[in-house]
A and B are shown apart, each in its own frame.
Chain A
Protein backbone atom coordinates (compact mmCIF):
# COMPACT_ATOMS: atom_id res chain seq x y z
CA UNK A 1 0.00 0.00 0.00
CA UNK A 2 1.42 3.35 -0.96
CA UNK A 3 0.77 6.58 0.84
CA UNK A 4 1.19 9.54 -1.44
CA UNK A 5 1.39 11.93 1.48
CA UNK A 6 4.00 10.13 3.54
CA UNK A 7 7.32 11.91 3.94
CA UNK A 8 9.77 10.05 1.70
CA UNK A 9 12.53 10.53 4.24
CA UNK A 10 10.50 8.86 6.98
CA UNK A 11 9.94 5.95 4.66
CA UNK A 12 13.63 5.76 3.85
CA UNK A 13 14.48 5.90 7.55
CA UNK A 14 12.12 3.02 8.23
CA UNK A 15 13.55 1.00 5.38
CA UNK A 16 17.07 1.52 6.76
CA UNK A 17 15.94 0.35 10.17
CA UNK A 18 14.42 -2.79 8.64
CA UNK A 19 17.60 -3.57 6.74
CA UNK A 20 19.68 -2.79 9.81
CA UNK A 21 17.77 -5.43 11.78
CA UNK A 22 18.29 -8.01 9.04
CA UNK A 23 22.01 -7.21 8.94
CA UNK A 24 22.28 -7.22 12.73
CA UNK A 25 20.67 -10.65 12.89
CA UNK A 26 23.03 -11.99 10.25
CA UNK A 27 26.31 -10.22 10.98
CA UNK A 28 27.48 -12.37 13.91
CA UNK A 29 27.21 -15.37 11.64
CA UNK A 30 29.15 -13.66 8.89
CA UNK A 31 31.73 -12.67 11.44
CA UNK A 32 32.13 -16.31 12.46
CA UNK A 33 32.59 -17.33 8.85
CA UNK A 34 35.15 -14.54 8.52
CA UNK A 35 37.08 -15.76 11.57
CA UNK A 36 36.97 -19.34 10.32
CA UNK A 37 39.14 -18.33 7.37
CA UNK A 38 41.79 -16.73 9.60
CA UNK A 39 44.83 -18.89 10.17
CA UNK A 40 45.29 -17.35 13.62
CA UNK A 41 41.72 -17.82 14.78
CA UNK A 42 39.68 -15.48 16.92
CA UNK A 43 41.02 -12.28 18.45
CA UNK A 44 44.34 -12.47 16.67
CA UNK A 45 45.73 -9.10 15.65
CA UNK A 46 46.64 -10.30 12.19
CA UNK A 47 44.41 -11.86 9.54
CA UNK A 48 45.81 -14.44 7.16
CA UNK A 49 43.35 -16.12 4.86
CA UNK A 50 43.41 -19.91 4.93
CA UNK A 51 41.31 -23.00 4.26
CA UNK A 52 43.32 -24.93 6.84
CA UNK A 53 40.61 -25.14 9.49
CA UNK A 54 38.19 -26.54 6.96
CA UNK A 55 40.85 -28.99 5.83
CA UNK A 56 41.27 -30.16 9.42
CA UNK A 57 37.53 -30.58 9.89
CA UNK A 58 37.01 -32.47 6.65
CA UNK A 59 39.96 -34.80 7.28
CA UNK A 60 38.58 -35.77 10.67
CA UNK A 61 36.97 -39.17 10.14
CA UNK A 62 34.62 -38.78 13.11
CA UNK A 63 33.33 -35.52 11.72
CA UNK A 64 32.91 -36.89 8.24
CA UNK A 65 30.99 -39.91 9.52
CA UNK A 66 28.83 -37.58 11.62
CA UNK A 67 28.18 -35.62 8.45
CA UNK A 68 26.89 -38.75 6.73
CA UNK A 69 24.54 -39.44 9.67
CA UNK A 70 23.32 -35.86 9.37
CA UNK A 71 22.59 -36.29 5.67
CA UNK A 72 20.96 -39.66 6.24
CA UNK A 73 18.72 -38.20 8.93
CA UNK A 74 17.83 -35.13 6.86
CA UNK A 75 16.91 -37.20 3.81
CA UNK A 76 14.64 -39.56 5.76
CA UNK A 77 13.11 -36.66 7.66
CA UNK A 78 12.19 -35.00 4.34
CA UNK A 79 10.94 -38.28 2.90
CA UNK A 80 8.54 -38.80 5.81
CA UNK A 81 7.65 -35.24 6.83
CA UNK A 82 6.69 -33.84 3.43
CA UNK A 83 4.13 -36.52 2.48
CA UNK A 84 2.76 -36.30 6.00
CA UNK A 85 2.50 -32.52 5.79
CA UNK A 86 0.65 -32.87 2.48
CA UNK A 87 -1.78 -35.31 4.09
CA UNK A 88 -2.24 -32.97 7.04
CA UNK A 89 -2.87 -29.98 4.80
CA UNK A 90 -5.41 -31.91 2.72
CA UNK A 91 -7.05 -33.15 5.90
CA UNK A 92 -7.17 -29.62 7.29
CA UNK A 93 -8.84 -28.32 4.14
CA UNK A 94 -11.66 -30.84 4.43
CA UNK A 95 -11.93 -31.07 8.17
CA UNK A 96 -14.76 -29.27 9.87
CA UNK A 97 -13.06 -29.32 13.28
CA UNK A 98 -10.17 -27.23 12.06
CA UNK A 99 -9.21 -25.60 15.34
CA UNK A 100 -8.63 -28.82 17.27
CA UNK A 101 -6.66 -30.28 14.38
CA UNK A 102 -4.48 -27.25 13.86
CA UNK A 103 -3.84 -26.95 17.60
CA UNK A 104 -2.51 -30.52 17.63
CA UNK A 105 -0.41 -29.96 14.52
CA UNK A 106 1.12 -26.62 15.53
CA UNK A 107 1.63 -27.00 19.27
CA UNK A 108 5.04 -28.68 18.84
CA UNK A 109 6.20 -25.19 17.76
CA UNK A 110 5.54 -24.01 21.28
CA UNK A 111 7.29 -26.81 23.15
CA UNK A 112 10.97 -25.91 23.51
CA UNK A 113 13.63 -28.30 22.28
CA UNK A 114 14.97 -29.45 25.63
CA UNK A 115 11.51 -30.06 27.08
CA UNK A 116 10.27 -31.99 24.05
CA UNK A 117 13.53 -33.92 23.88
CA UNK A 118 13.36 -34.94 27.55
CA UNK A 119 9.72 -35.95 27.27
CA UNK A 120 10.35 -38.09 24.21
CA UNK A 121 13.48 -39.59 25.75
CA UNK A 122 11.63 -40.80 28.84
CA UNK A 123 8.65 -41.86 26.70
CA UNK A 124 10.80 -44.00 24.40
CA UNK A 125 12.75 -45.54 27.26
CA UNK A 126 9.48 -46.56 28.88
CA UNK A 127 8.04 -47.76 25.61
CA UNK A 128 10.99 -49.97 24.90
CA UNK A 129 10.83 -51.21 28.48
CA UNK A 130 7.15 -51.98 28.03
CA UNK A 131 7.83 -53.87 24.82
CA UNK A 132 10.52 -56.06 26.31
CA UNK A 133 8.21 -56.78 29.26
CA UNK A 134 5.53 -57.77 26.73
CA UNK A 135 8.06 -60.05 25.05
CA UNK A 136 8.91 -61.76 28.32
CA UNK A 137 5.26 -62.22 29.20
CA UNK A 138 4.47 -63.71 25.81
CA UNK A 139 7.73 -65.65 25.77
CA UNK A 140 8.69 -64.29 22.34
CA UNK A 141 11.05 -61.68 20.99
CA UNK A 142 8.83 -59.95 18.48
CA UNK A 143 9.14 -56.50 19.97
CA UNK A 144 12.77 -56.73 20.91
CA UNK A 145 14.50 -53.40 20.39
CA UNK A 146 11.54 -51.44 19.13
CA UNK A 147 11.99 -47.84 20.19
CA UNK A 148 15.40 -48.41 21.71
CA UNK A 149 17.17 -45.09 21.35
CA UNK A 150 18.66 -44.89 17.89
CA UNK A 151 18.03 -43.66 14.40
CA UNK A 152 14.27 -44.24 14.51
CA UNK A 153 13.73 -42.32 17.74
CA UNK A 154 15.91 -39.44 16.55
CA UNK A 155 13.93 -39.41 13.32
CA UNK A 156 10.61 -39.27 15.17
CA UNK A 157 11.93 -36.37 17.23
CA UNK A 158 12.88 -34.54 14.05
CA UNK A 159 9.54 -35.22 12.38
CA UNK A 160 7.69 -33.77 15.36
CA UNK A 161 9.97 -30.73 15.13
CA UNK A 162 9.90 -30.13 11.36
CA UNK A 163 6.33 -31.12 10.52
CA UNK A 164 4.64 -27.91 11.77
CA UNK A 165 6.84 -25.77 9.52
CA UNK A 166 6.26 -27.94 6.45
CA UNK A 167 2.53 -28.01 7.24
CA UNK A 168 2.30 -24.21 7.39
CA UNK A 169 4.29 -23.63 4.21
CA UNK A 170 2.22 -26.16 2.25
CA UNK A 171 -1.02 -24.84 3.69
CA UNK A 172 -0.17 -21.28 2.65
CA UNK A 173 0.53 -22.46 -0.90
CA UNK A 174 -2.65 -24.51 -0.93
CA UNK A 175 -4.78 -21.58 0.22
CA UNK A 176 -4.43 -20.14 -3.28
CA UNK A 177 -5.63 -23.40 -4.85
CA UNK A 178 -9.32 -23.72 -5.64
CA UNK A 179 -10.89 -27.02 -4.78
CA UNK A 180 -13.33 -26.74 -7.68
CA UNK A 181 -10.44 -27.75 -9.91
CA UNK A 182 -10.11 -31.06 -8.09
CA UNK A 183 -13.84 -31.60 -8.48
CA UNK A 184 -13.63 -30.69 -12.15
CA UNK A 185 -10.89 -33.28 -12.57
CA UNK A 186 -13.02 -35.86 -10.76
CA UNK A 187 -15.93 -35.00 -13.03
CA UNK A 188 -13.61 -35.60 -15.99
CA UNK A 189 -13.06 -39.11 -14.67
CA UNK A 190 -9.88 -38.72 -12.64
CA UNK A 191 -9.38 -40.76 -9.49
CA UNK A 192 -8.62 -38.88 -6.29
CA UNK A 193 -4.93 -39.56 -6.78
CA UNK A 194 -4.91 -38.51 -10.45
CA UNK A 195 -6.73 -35.30 -9.57
CA UNK A 196 -4.15 -34.53 -6.92
CA UNK A 197 -1.10 -35.45 -8.97
CA UNK A 198 -2.10 -33.98 -12.32
CA UNK A 199 -4.07 -30.91 -11.29
CA UNK A 200 -3.35 -29.84 -7.74
CA UNK A 201 0.29 -30.79 -7.31
CA UNK A 202 1.60 -28.79 -10.31
CA UNK A 203 0.06 -25.72 -8.72
CA UNK A 204 1.47 -26.22 -5.23
CA UNK A 205 4.82 -27.58 -6.38
CA UNK A 206 6.74 -24.45 -5.38
CA UNK A 207 5.45 -24.69 -1.82
CA UNK A 208 6.24 -28.39 -1.58
CA UNK A 209 9.77 -27.86 -2.82
CA UNK A 210 10.46 -24.97 -0.48
CA UNK A 211 9.11 -26.96 2.44
CA UNK A 212 11.49 -29.77 1.41
CA UNK A 213 14.35 -27.28 1.64
CA UNK A 214 13.11 -25.98 5.00
CA UNK A 215 12.84 -29.44 6.47
CA UNK A 216 16.31 -30.33 5.19
CA UNK A 217 17.81 -27.26 6.82
CA UNK A 218 15.86 -27.61 10.07
CA UNK A 219 16.93 -31.25 10.33
CA UNK A 220 20.50 -30.34 9.44
CA UNK A 221 20.62 -27.68 12.16
CA UNK A 222 18.75 -29.58 14.85
CA UNK A 223 20.98 -30.44 17.78
CA UNK A 224 19.13 -30.70 21.07
CA UNK A 225 16.42 -33.28 20.36
CA UNK A 226 18.79 -35.38 18.30
CA UNK A 227 21.40 -35.32 21.07
CA UNK A 228 18.85 -36.67 23.56
CA UNK A 229 17.27 -39.27 21.27
CA UNK A 230 20.05 -40.47 19.02
CA UNK A 231 21.49 -43.33 21.02
CA UNK A 232 24.78 -44.39 19.52
CA UNK A 233 25.63 -42.03 16.69
CA UNK A 234 26.51 -38.37 16.35
CA UNK A 235 25.34 -35.80 13.86
CA UNK A 236 27.45 -32.87 12.77
CA UNK A 237 25.73 -30.42 15.08
CA UNK A 238 26.03 -32.87 18.00
CA UNK A 239 29.79 -32.92 17.51
CA UNK A 240 29.85 -29.13 17.28
CA UNK A 241 27.96 -28.75 20.59
CA UNK A 242 30.35 -31.17 22.27
CA UNK A 243 33.30 -29.22 20.85
CA UNK A 244 31.99 -25.89 22.08
CA UNK A 245 31.24 -27.16 25.54
CA UNK A 246 34.38 -29.18 26.03
CA UNK A 247 37.11 -27.43 24.08
CA UNK A 248 35.58 -23.99 23.77
CA UNK A 249 36.21 -21.83 20.76
CA UNK A 250 38.84 -23.55 18.69
CA UNK A 251 39.66 -22.87 15.08
CA UNK A 252 37.98 -26.14 14.28
CA UNK A 253 34.67 -25.15 15.87
CA UNK A 254 34.70 -21.93 13.89
CA UNK A 255 35.19 -23.91 10.73
CA UNK A 256 32.36 -26.28 11.66
CA UNK A 257 30.07 -23.39 12.45
CA UNK A 258 31.21 -21.92 9.13
CA UNK A 259 30.22 -25.10 7.28
CA UNK A 260 26.79 -25.13 8.91
CA UNK A 261 26.15 -21.48 8.12
CA UNK A 262 27.37 -21.74 4.55
CA UNK A 263 25.15 -24.73 3.85
CA UNK A 264 22.08 -22.98 5.31
CA UNK A 265 22.78 -19.68 3.62
CA UNK A 266 23.34 -21.37 0.26
CA UNK A 267 20.20 -23.47 0.38
CA UNK A 268 17.80 -20.94 1.89
CA UNK A 269 19.47 -17.98 0.17
CA UNK A 270 19.09 -19.57 -3.23
CA UNK A 271 15.43 -20.32 -2.51
CA UNK A 272 14.85 -16.72 -1.49
CA UNK A 273 16.63 -15.40 -4.58
CA UNK A 274 14.74 -17.84 -6.79
CA UNK A 275 11.46 -16.76 -5.20
CA UNK A 276 12.29 -13.08 -5.57
CA UNK A 277 13.24 -13.47 -9.21
CA UNK A 278 10.18 -15.50 -10.13
CA UNK A 279 7.76 -13.76 -7.79
CA UNK A 280 6.93 -10.91 -10.12
CA UNK A 281 5.94 -13.20 -12.97
CA UNK A 282 4.05 -15.61 -10.72
CA UNK A 283 2.25 -12.73 -9.09
CA UNK A 284 0.99 -11.41 -12.39
CA UNK A 285 -0.04 -14.87 -13.52
CA UNK A 286 -1.77 -15.68 -10.23
CA UNK A 287 -3.72 -12.44 -10.37
CA UNK A 288 -4.81 -13.20 -13.91
CA UNK A 289 -5.92 -16.67 -12.87
CA UNK A 290 -7.75 -15.52 -9.79
CA UNK A 291 -9.81 -12.88 -11.56
CA UNK A 292 -11.07 -13.96 -14.96
CA UNK A 293 -12.07 -11.11 -17.22
CA UNK A 294 -15.79 -10.64 -16.87
CA UNK A 295 -16.61 -9.51 -20.37
CA UNK A 296 -16.05 -10.86 -23.86
Chain B
Protein backbone atom coordinates (compact mmCIF):
# COMPACT_ATOMS: atom_id res chain seq x y z
CA UNK B 1 0.00 0.00 0.00
CA UNK B 2 1.13 3.56 -0.58
CA UNK B 3 2.11 5.60 2.49
CA UNK B 4 -0.75 8.02 1.71
CA UNK B 5 -3.34 5.28 2.11
CA UNK B 6 -1.61 4.00 5.23
CA UNK B 7 -1.54 7.53 6.66
CA UNK B 8 -5.27 7.85 6.04
CA UNK B 9 -5.89 4.53 7.78
CA UNK B 10 -3.73 5.75 10.67
CA UNK B 11 -5.80 8.92 10.97
CA UNK B 12 -9.05 6.93 10.93
CA UNK B 13 -7.74 4.53 13.55
CA UNK B 14 -6.60 7.33 15.84
CA UNK B 15 -9.89 9.12 15.22
CA UNK B 16 -11.75 6.03 16.42
CA UNK B 17 -9.60 5.91 19.55
CA UNK B 18 -10.14 9.60 20.26
CA UNK B 19 -13.85 9.08 19.65
CA UNK B 20 -13.91 6.42 22.35
CA UNK B 21 -12.39 8.93 24.77
CA UNK B 22 -15.16 11.41 23.92
CA UNK B 23 -17.75 8.66 24.34
CA UNK B 24 -16.54 7.95 27.86
CA UNK B 25 -17.51 11.49 28.83
CA UNK B 26 -20.74 11.43 26.82
CA UNK B 27 -21.90 8.22 28.53
CA UNK B 28 -22.27 9.98 31.87
CA UNK B 29 -24.47 12.65 30.31
CA UNK B 30 -26.67 10.03 28.64
CA UNK B 31 -27.19 8.03 31.84
CA UNK B 32 -28.44 11.02 33.80
CA UNK B 33 -30.48 12.49 30.95
CA UNK B 34 -32.15 9.15 30.27
CA UNK B 35 -33.19 8.59 33.86
CA UNK B 36 -34.08 12.10 34.93
CA UNK B 37 -34.31 14.33 31.85
CA UNK B 38 -31.52 16.50 33.25
CA UNK B 39 -28.71 17.72 31.07
CA UNK B 40 -25.97 17.47 33.68
CA UNK B 41 -23.63 20.38 33.03
CA UNK B 42 -21.47 19.15 35.90
CA UNK B 43 -20.47 15.88 34.20
CA UNK B 44 -17.04 17.23 33.16
CA UNK B 45 -16.41 18.55 36.66
CA UNK B 46 -17.49 15.18 38.06
CA UNK B 47 -14.73 13.55 35.99
CA UNK B 48 -12.27 16.09 37.35
CA UNK B 49 -13.47 15.67 40.94
CA UNK B 50 -13.31 11.88 40.72
CA UNK B 51 -9.77 11.98 39.29
CA UNK B 52 -8.66 14.48 41.96
CA UNK B 53 -10.10 12.27 44.68
CA UNK B 54 -8.44 9.19 43.25
CA UNK B 55 -5.02 10.88 43.17
CA UNK B 56 -5.66 12.17 46.70
CA UNK B 57 -6.23 8.61 47.96
CA UNK B 58 -3.30 7.24 45.96
CA UNK B 59 -0.87 9.79 47.34
CA UNK B 60 -2.19 9.94 50.88
CA UNK B 61 -3.11 13.60 50.64
CA UNK B 62 -5.09 15.11 53.51
CA UNK B 63 -8.30 16.67 52.17
CA UNK B 64 -8.62 20.40 52.87
CA UNK B 65 -4.97 20.45 54.01
CA UNK B 66 -4.43 24.05 52.88
CA UNK B 67 -7.53 25.21 54.71
CA UNK B 68 -6.58 23.31 57.88
CA UNK B 69 -3.01 24.62 57.79
CA UNK B 70 -4.21 28.18 57.22
CA UNK B 71 -6.67 28.01 60.09
CA UNK B 72 -4.47 26.29 62.64
CA UNK B 73 -0.98 27.23 61.50
CA UNK B 74 -0.07 23.59 60.95
CA UNK B 75 1.94 22.09 58.08
CA UNK B 76 0.11 18.84 57.38
CA UNK B 77 -0.15 17.67 53.77
CA UNK B 78 -0.09 13.88 53.77
CA UNK B 79 -1.35 11.29 56.22
CA UNK B 80 0.90 8.58 54.76
CA UNK B 81 2.07 7.04 51.54
CA UNK B 82 -1.43 6.46 50.25
CA UNK B 83 -3.52 3.47 49.18
CA UNK B 84 -2.78 1.07 46.36
CA UNK B 85 -4.69 1.53 43.09
CA UNK B 86 -7.47 -0.93 43.88
CA UNK B 87 -8.33 0.48 47.30
CA UNK B 88 -8.01 4.05 46.00
CA UNK B 89 -10.46 3.31 43.18
CA UNK B 90 -12.94 1.62 45.53
CA UNK B 91 -12.77 4.56 47.95
CA UNK B 92 -13.25 7.02 45.09
CA UNK B 93 -16.33 5.11 43.95
CA UNK B 94 -17.69 5.37 47.51
CA UNK B 95 -17.05 9.12 47.46
CA UNK B 96 -18.92 9.40 44.15
CA UNK B 97 -21.85 7.44 45.63
CA UNK B 98 -21.85 9.77 48.63
CA UNK B 99 -21.78 12.70 46.23
CA UNK B 100 -24.77 11.27 44.33
CA UNK B 101 -26.70 10.87 47.57
CA UNK B 102 -25.91 14.45 48.59
CA UNK B 103 -26.95 15.78 45.18
CA UNK B 104 -30.27 14.02 45.51
CA UNK B 105 -30.81 15.18 49.12
CA UNK B 106 -29.67 18.76 48.70
CA UNK B 107 -30.51 19.63 45.10
CA UNK B 108 -32.75 17.30 43.14
CA UNK B 109 -35.25 16.55 45.92
CA UNK B 110 -36.16 20.21 46.06
CA UNK B 111 -36.54 20.55 42.32
CA UNK B 112 -38.96 17.71 41.52
CA UNK B 113 -41.46 18.75 38.84
CA UNK B 114 -39.50 21.86 37.94
CA UNK B 115 -38.88 22.82 34.33
CA UNK B 116 -35.84 21.13 32.70
CA UNK B 117 -34.14 24.51 32.36
CA UNK B 118 -34.30 24.95 36.16
CA UNK B 119 -32.66 21.58 36.67
CA UNK B 120 -30.05 22.44 34.05
CA UNK B 121 -29.29 25.71 35.86
CA UNK B 122 -28.95 23.77 39.11
CA UNK B 123 -26.30 21.56 37.51
CA UNK B 124 -24.40 24.67 36.37
CA UNK B 125 -24.34 25.78 40.00
CA UNK B 126 -23.30 22.30 41.00
CA UNK B 127 -20.41 22.40 38.52
CA UNK B 128 -19.05 25.65 39.97
CA UNK B 129 -19.50 24.37 43.50
CA UNK B 130 -17.70 21.10 42.79
CA UNK B 131 -14.85 22.83 41.02
CA UNK B 132 -14.32 25.04 44.05
CA UNK B 133 -14.71 22.12 46.43
CA UNK B 134 -12.17 20.07 44.45
CA UNK B 135 -9.73 22.97 44.58
CA UNK B 136 -10.24 23.40 48.32
CA UNK B 137 -9.99 19.68 49.07
CA UNK B 138 -7.07 18.67 46.92
CA UNK B 139 -5.32 21.89 45.80
CA UNK B 140 -4.97 23.32 42.31
CA UNK B 141 -1.57 21.88 41.40
CA UNK B 142 -1.26 19.47 38.49
CA UNK B 143 -1.24 15.88 39.67
CA UNK B 144 0.29 12.88 37.99
CA UNK B 145 -2.19 10.02 37.67
CA UNK B 146 -0.84 6.53 37.22
CA UNK B 147 -3.05 3.51 37.68
CA UNK B 148 -0.68 1.22 35.85
CA UNK B 149 -2.19 1.58 32.38
CA UNK B 150 0.66 1.61 29.83
CA UNK B 151 0.90 4.55 27.46
CA UNK B 152 2.93 5.64 24.46
CA UNK B 153 3.18 4.45 20.88
CA UNK B 154 3.05 0.71 20.27
CA UNK B 155 6.35 -0.62 18.84
CA UNK B 156 4.68 -3.86 17.85
CA UNK B 157 2.02 -2.12 15.76
CA UNK B 158 4.64 0.10 14.14
CA UNK B 159 6.69 -2.94 13.12
CA UNK B 160 3.68 -4.83 11.81
CA UNK B 161 2.33 -1.95 9.73
CA UNK B 162 5.73 -0.92 8.39
CA UNK B 163 5.71 -4.08 6.29
CA UNK B 164 2.42 -3.04 4.69
CA UNK B 165 4.04 -0.16 2.84
CA UNK B 166 5.06 -0.56 -0.79
CA UNK B 167 8.66 -1.64 -1.23
CA UNK B 168 11.07 1.27 -1.34
CA UNK B 169 8.68 3.82 0.16
CA UNK B 170 9.72 5.76 3.23
CA UNK B 171 7.22 4.71 5.87
CA UNK B 172 7.72 4.55 9.63
CA UNK B 173 4.79 2.36 10.53
CA UNK B 174 1.43 3.25 11.95
CA UNK B 175 1.09 5.02 15.29
CA UNK B 176 -1.33 4.04 17.97
CA UNK B 177 -1.25 5.02 21.63
CA UNK B 178 -1.49 1.97 23.91
CA UNK B 179 -3.46 4.06 26.42
CA UNK B 180 -6.10 4.69 23.76
CA UNK B 181 -6.39 0.97 23.08
CA UNK B 182 -6.93 0.37 26.78
CA UNK B 183 -9.51 3.15 26.84
CA UNK B 184 -11.35 1.51 23.95
CA UNK B 185 -11.34 -1.87 25.68
CA UNK B 186 -12.56 -0.33 28.93
CA UNK B 187 -15.29 1.61 27.11
CA UNK B 188 -16.54 -1.59 25.45
CA UNK B 189 -16.52 -3.35 28.82
CA UNK B 190 -18.38 -0.45 30.39
CA UNK B 191 -21.10 -0.50 27.74
CA UNK B 192 -21.51 -4.27 28.08
CA UNK B 193 -21.81 -3.98 31.88
CA UNK B 194 -24.27 -1.10 31.64
CA UNK B 195 -26.35 -2.96 29.07
CA UNK B 196 -26.41 -6.17 31.12
CA UNK B 197 -27.25 -4.16 34.23
CA UNK B 198 -30.15 -2.35 32.63
CA UNK B 199 -31.52 -5.46 30.85
CA UNK B 200 -31.12 -8.20 33.41
CA UNK B 201 -31.30 -6.71 36.89
CA UNK B 202 -34.31 -5.53 38.84
CA UNK B 203 -32.71 -2.12 39.47
CA UNK B 204 -31.82 -1.86 35.80
CA UNK B 205 -35.40 -2.49 34.79
CA UNK B 206 -36.53 0.11 37.30
CA UNK B 207 -34.09 2.56 35.73
CA UNK B 208 -35.54 1.88 32.31
CA UNK B 209 -39.07 2.25 33.64
CA UNK B 210 -38.20 5.65 35.09
CA UNK B 211 -36.51 6.60 31.83
CA UNK B 212 -39.64 5.65 29.88
CA UNK B 213 -42.20 7.35 32.08
CA UNK B 214 -41.59 8.89 35.51
CA UNK B 215 -45.22 8.93 36.57
CA UNK B 216 -45.96 5.39 35.44
CA UNK B 217 -42.88 4.20 37.31
CA UNK B 218 -44.06 5.96 40.45
CA UNK B 219 -47.47 4.34 40.23
CA UNK B 220 -45.94 0.86 40.29
CA UNK B 221 -43.95 1.70 43.42
CA UNK B 222 -40.54 2.61 42.05
CA UNK B 223 -38.87 5.24 44.20
CA UNK B 224 -37.80 8.05 41.94
CA UNK B 225 -35.39 9.41 44.53
CA UNK B 226 -33.62 6.07 44.97
CA UNK B 227 -33.34 5.71 41.22
CA UNK B 228 -31.81 9.19 40.97
CA UNK B 229 -29.19 8.30 43.59
CA UNK B 230 -28.37 5.09 41.70
CA UNK B 231 -28.14 6.78 38.34
CA UNK B 232 -25.99 9.66 39.63
CA UNK B 233 -23.75 7.08 41.31
CA UNK B 234 -23.32 5.19 38.04
CA UNK B 235 -22.64 8.46 36.23
CA UNK B 236 -20.07 9.23 38.93
CA UNK B 237 -18.35 5.90 38.25
CA UNK B 238 -18.37 6.55 34.51
CA UNK B 239 -16.92 10.00 35.28
CA UNK B 240 -14.17 8.29 37.27
CA UNK B 241 -13.29 6.11 34.27
CA UNK B 242 -13.23 9.17 31.98
CA UNK B 243 -11.17 11.07 34.57
CA UNK B 244 -8.64 8.23 34.79
CA UNK B 245 -8.23 8.00 31.03
CA UNK B 246 -7.99 11.73 30.36
CA UNK B 247 -6.00 12.38 33.54
CA UNK B 248 -3.45 9.72 32.56
CA UNK B 249 -2.83 11.62 29.33
CA UNK B 250 -2.43 15.15 30.63
CA UNK B 251 -2.16 14.97 34.39
CA UNK B 252 -5.11 15.78 36.63
CA UNK B 253 -5.78 19.49 36.47
CA UNK B 254 -8.74 21.80 36.31
CA UNK B 255 -8.86 21.99 32.52
CA UNK B 256 -10.00 18.37 32.67
CA UNK B 257 -13.52 19.64 33.28
CA UNK B 258 -13.48 21.18 29.79
CA UNK B 259 -13.58 17.72 28.19
CA UNK B 260 -17.35 18.04 28.60
CA UNK B 261 -17.26 20.47 25.69
CA UNK B 262 -16.14 17.62 23.45
CA UNK B 263 -19.04 15.46 24.62
CA UNK B 264 -21.76 17.90 23.54
CA UNK B 265 -21.48 17.34 19.75
CA UNK B 266 -21.24 13.61 20.46
CA UNK B 267 -24.55 13.76 22.33
CA UNK B 268 -26.25 15.80 19.63
CA UNK B 269 -25.12 13.28 17.07
CA UNK B 270 -25.81 10.11 18.99
CA UNK B 271 -28.88 11.23 20.86
CA UNK B 272 -29.18 12.20 24.51
CA UNK B 273 -30.96 9.01 25.50
CA UNK B 274 -28.96 6.25 23.87
CA UNK B 275 -25.90 4.50 25.28
CA UNK B 276 -24.96 2.96 21.91
CA UNK B 277 -25.62 6.44 20.47
CA UNK B 278 -22.96 7.93 22.74
CA UNK B 279 -20.46 5.38 21.47
CA UNK B 280 -21.34 5.67 17.79
CA UNK B 281 -21.59 9.47 18.05
CA UNK B 282 -18.16 9.60 19.64
CA UNK B 283 -16.67 7.44 16.92
CA UNK B 284 -18.22 9.55 14.14
CA UNK B 285 -17.03 12.79 15.72
CA UNK B 286 -13.57 11.37 16.42
CA UNK B 287 -13.02 10.04 12.90
CA UNK B 288 -14.76 13.00 11.23
CA UNK B 289 -12.73 15.68 12.97
CA UNK B 290 -9.43 13.86 12.46
CA UNK B 291 -10.05 13.25 8.76
CA UNK B 292 -11.20 16.84 8.26
CA UNK B 293 -8.08 18.12 9.99
CA UNK B 294 -5.93 15.75 7.92
CA UNK B 295 -7.41 16.64 4.54
CA UNK B 296 -8.79 20.16 4.88
CA UNK B 297 -6.96 21.52 7.96
CA UNK B 298 -3.70 22.41 6.22
CA UNK B 299 -5.63 24.41 3.60
CA UNK B 300 -7.40 26.61 6.15
CA UNK B 301 -4.74 27.09 8.82
CA UNK B 302 -5.50 24.03 10.94
CA UNK B 303 -7.15 23.78 14.37
CA UNK B 304 -10.44 22.77 12.73
CA UNK B 305 -11.37 19.96 15.11
CA UNK B 306 -13.52 21.82 17.62
CA UNK B 307 -15.18 23.75 14.85
CA UNK B 308 -15.83 20.66 12.73
CA UNK B 309 -17.37 18.67 15.58
CA UNK B 310 -19.97 21.35 16.24
CA UNK B 311 -20.69 21.98 12.55
CA UNK B 312 -21.27 18.26 12.05
CA UNK B 313 -23.57 18.25 15.09
CA UNK B 314 -25.44 21.24 13.68
CA UNK B 315 -25.84 19.44 10.37
CA UNK B 316 -27.36 16.43 12.15
CA UNK B 317 -29.65 18.71 14.16
CA UNK B 318 -31.15 20.01 10.94
CA UNK B 319 -32.08 16.58 9.64
CA UNK B 320 -32.41 14.46 12.75
CA UNK B 321 -32.92 16.61 15.85
CA UNK B 322 -33.22 13.62 18.17
CA UNK B 323 -29.82 12.31 17.08
CA UNK B 324 -29.00 9.01 15.41
CA UNK B 325 -30.31 6.80 18.19
CA UNK B 326 -32.41 9.24 20.20
CA UNK B 327 -36.11 8.82 20.80
CA UNK B 328 -38.31 10.78 18.43
CA UNK B 329 -40.27 13.31 20.47
CA UNK B 330 -43.91 13.39 19.46
CA UNK B 331 -46.15 15.74 21.38
CA UNK B 332 -49.88 15.58 20.82
CA UNK B 333 -51.86 18.75 21.20
Genuine A/B complex: no
